[in-house]
């Protein structure tokens, strides 16, 4: 069997984390089995669908590396790939069922249906449509149709048990008596969701449908439509829902749920894909940091859990940090461009070699791309000498003599690592202070901190002029403090 799977997002919102994980599992399954990953857009909700959402979904999947084999922009033999362009196909299949007497018009108005529902609830029963128009007089039906009486079309559902073997959950059974004759189309043979999905999957030759567990209730209805159309249903698999930390369904009230929001916050596409794969799937040998190609090689549905997976932002941040540290300085430099641009920092203010050295200085401490600005802020602006950490360092008896000695050393020495190392060794030997008493005031004066990136490398990147100016400002601050 040729594996053909699909992801079918609705452009009624931006690309959601949950949709992305479903797309990822489909992608991994397809690539693992040498199959095709299909993208189609379910844009029949005209009131809520927007082109901006479509663009966001398509660009988001592309950014994550989840490139589809067929779909918008990658035309294949099974298009169109937008449901809004497939109306004629749906009507053809609906007409087939109508001609075969497998669907029928139902003229019940909303008030009648609500009365049926209320009566069922009053008697403690699950509501199922009564089937009032199932075997209605053909002449009466035709008369109502000719009069353009509002109606829907319902499928004649046989009394039986629908059984399917879920790839993740095992055997699942449904009694069709709890379903009843379901509506498959509106007046004018406009299909509803379940019918359109089935026709799409038939005509696109979808072999496996992998989706969230919230679609389990749709599966027996869709199987009944497949059977009515004389088609073989695909193989189904339903993954567990993605949960918030309180184990409720993940939603906007728990924070960002759109992929674009995480990318804007400084998460890497590789890290986001890596982390989403870990939600509900156990990698072999406990390995957690995996590239997309490595995920493909390791993925199997047998390792997908039936239990809901909690979306943990702190774990995502950790995964992102691991990926940031994997990047070469050159790659990280390219990815930082938007961050620097947003911060108003001109990249032509220094040579590229300077930038690459500055990245190497703080890369190990970064978990998000904007962390560069937090860790390396002292390279772009003089420190706040009124900060509490600076005050503690400047309160040491060693502060004034150490800063004065370093100021003298830096004025004439060659601006290179070996010369700076020699200057520091001389400072340690000539000053009667402990290492902390020497290093704290220097770091505080130059960076506004008492801990952080390699101090000597920081000095070289700051440059002679900036270092001398900051040391002098620190000495002035010390003198003013002493005078008061």
Q: What is the pLDDT along the chain (484 residues), one digit of tens a residue?
A: 899 999 999 999 999 999 999 999 999 999 999 999 999 999 988 889 999 999 999 999 999 999 999 999 998 999 999 999 999 999 999 999 999 999 999 999 999 999 999 998 999 888 999 999 999 999 999 999 999 999 999 999 999 999 999 999 999 999 999 999 999 999 999 999 999 999 999 999 999 999 999 999 999 999 999 999 999 999 999 999 988 888 888 876 766 689 999 999 999 999 999 999 999 998 888 899 999 999 999 999 999 999 888 999 999 999 999 999 999 999 999 999 999 999 999 999 999 999 999 999 999 999 999 999 999 999 999 998 887 878 899 999 999 999 999 999 999 999 999 999 999 999 999 999 999 999 999 999 999 998 889 999 999 999 999 999 999 999 999 988 877 7
Residues identified as active-site: 252
| Structure tokens that stand for 351 in this block | 């040579």
The closest of 364, 349, 356 to 330, measured between CA atoms, is 356
* 279 CB-contact burial (10 Å; exposed 0-12 / middle 13-18 / buried 19+): buried
Q: For residue 305, give the 3-state DSSP assignment.
A: coil
Q: How do 4-7 and 36-39 pair as beta strands?
A: parallel
pLDDT at 484: 72
Q: What is the pLDDT of residue 405?
A: 95
Task: Give dist(CA 213, CA 450) in Å, integer.
Answer: 52
Burial bucket for residue 299 (CB in 10 Å: 0-12, 13-18, 19+): buried
Question: Residue 329, SS3?
Answer: helix
Q: Is 81 exposed, middle or buried (0-12, 13-18, 19+ CB in 10 A)?
A: buried
| pLDDT at residue number 250 | 80
Instruction: Give the helix, strand, coil percentages of the chain, each rounded to 5.
Output: 55, 10, 35
Pick from 177, 235, 164, 181: which is nearest to 5 by CA?
A: 235
Alpha-carbon distance of 9 to 19, in angstroms, equals 7
Q: Are 445 and 470 in contact (CB under 8 A)?
A: yes
Q: What DSSP string describes 111-157?
A: HHHHHHHHHHHHTT-------TTTT--HHHHHHHHHTT---EEEE--
What pLDDT, on a 0 to 100 scale, did the predictor assign at position 230? 97
Decide if 427 contacts 406 (C-beta within 8 A). Answer: yes
What are phi and psi for residue 154, nearest 5 degrees? -115, 145
**What is the full DSSP assignment across 34-97?**
T-EEEE-B----TTT--HHHHHHHHHHHHHTT---SBBTTB--TT---BGGG-HHHHHHHHHHH
Query: Per residue in 131-164, pLDDT tens?
Result: 999 999 999 999 999 999 999 999 999 999 999 9
What letter does residue 304 receive in the DSSP assignment? B
* Residue 294: per-residue pLDDT: 97
Q: Which of 247, 259, 292 is nearest to 274 (CA)?
A: 292
For residue 138, what are its two tokens? Answer: 């053909």
Q: Looking at domain 4-70+195-241, does it have CATH number 3.40.50.620?
A: yes
Contact 219, 88 (CB under 8 A): no
Measure the CA dihedral 123/128/129/135, to 10°: -100
* Domain ranges across the chain: 4-70+195-241, 91-194, 327-365, 382-483
Return the CATH fold of 91-194: 3.90.800
Residues 168, 304 contacting (CB under 8 angstroms): yes
| Helices (H) then strands (E): counts for the chain | 20, 12
Give the whole-angstrom CA distance, residue 20 versus residue 58: 11
Name, in order, each residue with C-beta under 8 angstroms of 264's C-beta and a sequence gap of 6 or more: none
| CATH architecture, domain 382-483 | Orthogonal Bundle (1.10)
**Euclidean distance between CA atoms 91 and 94, whole angstroms:** 5
């Amino acid at each position: 069997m040729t594996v053909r799977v699909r992801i079918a997002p609705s452009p009624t919102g931006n690309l959601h984390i949950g949709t992305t994980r479903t797309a990822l599992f489909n992608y991994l399954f397809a690539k693992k089995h040498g199959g095709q990953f299909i993208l189609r857009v379910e844009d029949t909700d005209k009131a809520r669908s927007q082109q901006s959402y479509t663009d966001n979904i398509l660009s988001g999947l592309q950014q994550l590396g989840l490139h589809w084999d067929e779909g918008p922009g990658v035309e294949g033999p099974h298009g169109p790939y937008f449901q809004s362009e497939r109306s004629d196909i749906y009507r053809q299949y609906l007409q087939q069922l109508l001609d075969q007497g497998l669907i029928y018009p139902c003229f019940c108005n909303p008030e009648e249906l609500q009365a049926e529902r209320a009566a069922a609830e009053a008697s403690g029963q699950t509501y199922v449509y009564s089937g009032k128009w199932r075997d209605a007089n053909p002449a009466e039906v035709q008369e109502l149709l000719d009069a353009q009486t509002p109606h829907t079309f319902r499928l004649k559902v046989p009394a039986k048990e629908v059984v399917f073997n879920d790839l993740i959950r095992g055997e699942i059974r449904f009694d069709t008596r709890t379903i009843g004759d379901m509506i498959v189309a509106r007046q004018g043979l406009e299909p509803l969701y379940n019918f359109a999905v089935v026709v799409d999957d038939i005509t696109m030759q979808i072999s496996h449908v992998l989706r969230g567990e919230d679609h389990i209730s749709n599966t027996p209805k869709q199987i009944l439509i497949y059977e009515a159309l004389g088609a073989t249903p695909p193989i189904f698999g339903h993954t567990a829902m993605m949960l918030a930390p309180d184990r409720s369904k993940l939603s906007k009230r728990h924070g960002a749920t759109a992929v674009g929001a995480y990318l804007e916050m400084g998460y890497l596409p590789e890290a986001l894909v890596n982390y989403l794969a870990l939600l509900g799937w156990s990698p072999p040998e406990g390995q957690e940091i995996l590239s997309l190609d490595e995920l493909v090689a390791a993925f199997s549905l047998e390792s997908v859990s039936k239990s809901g997976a909690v979306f943990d932002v702190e774990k995502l941040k950790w995964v992102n940090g691991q990926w940031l540290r994997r990047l070469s300085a050159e790659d990280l430099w390219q990815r930082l461009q938007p961050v620097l641009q947003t911060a108003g920092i001109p990249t032509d203010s220094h040579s590229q070699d300077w930038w690459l050295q500055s990245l190497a200085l703080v890369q190990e401490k970064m978990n998000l791309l904007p962390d560069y600005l937090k860790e390396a802020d002292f390279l772009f602006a003089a420190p706040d000498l009124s900060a509490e950490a600076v005050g503690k360092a400047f309160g040491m008896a060693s502060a004034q003599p150490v800063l004065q000695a370093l100021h003298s050393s830096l004025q004439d020495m060659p601006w290179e690592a070996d010369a700076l190392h020699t200057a520091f060794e001389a400072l340690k030997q000539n000053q009667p202070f402990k290492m902390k008493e020497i290093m704290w005031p220097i770091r505080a004066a130059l960076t506004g901190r008492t801990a952080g990136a390699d101090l000597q490398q920081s000095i070289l990147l700051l440059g002679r002029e900036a270092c001398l100016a900051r040391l002098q400002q620190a000495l002035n601050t010390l003198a003013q403090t002493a005078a008061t």
